[in-house]
């Protein structure tokens, strides 16, 4: 049963990442890192750095 919840939460985080990452110039396949919680935090951090770079332009 816990495997099903892990899969559901993984899908909930991976699908939005697939759509958001290309906007920030990051390859969409990095969304697979969102399977792990630390991967999601890392991707959010990476997107925030890219957002700061976009705002400077």
- Structure confidence at residue 50 (pLDDT): 94
Q: Phi and psi for 50 in degrees, rounded to 5?
A: -65, -35
- Domain limits, the chain: 2-56
- Structure confidence at residue 19 (pLDDT): 94
- Structure confidence at residue 49 (pLDDT): 95
The two three-digit tokens of residue 42, written as one number? 């890392």
Q: What CA–CA distance (Å, rounded) separates 32 from 14?
A: 7
- Each residue's pLDDT expressed in tens, for the chain with a length of 57 residues: 788 988 888 889 999 999 999 999 999 999 999 888 899 999 999 999 999 998 997
């Amino acid at each position: 049963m816990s495997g099903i919840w892990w899969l559901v939460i993984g899908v909930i985080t991976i699908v939005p990442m697939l759509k958001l990452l290309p906007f920030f110039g990051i390859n969409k396949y990095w969304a697979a890192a969102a399977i792990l919680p630390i991967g999601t935090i890392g991707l959010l951090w990476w997107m925030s750095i890219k957002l700061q770079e976009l705002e400077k332009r």
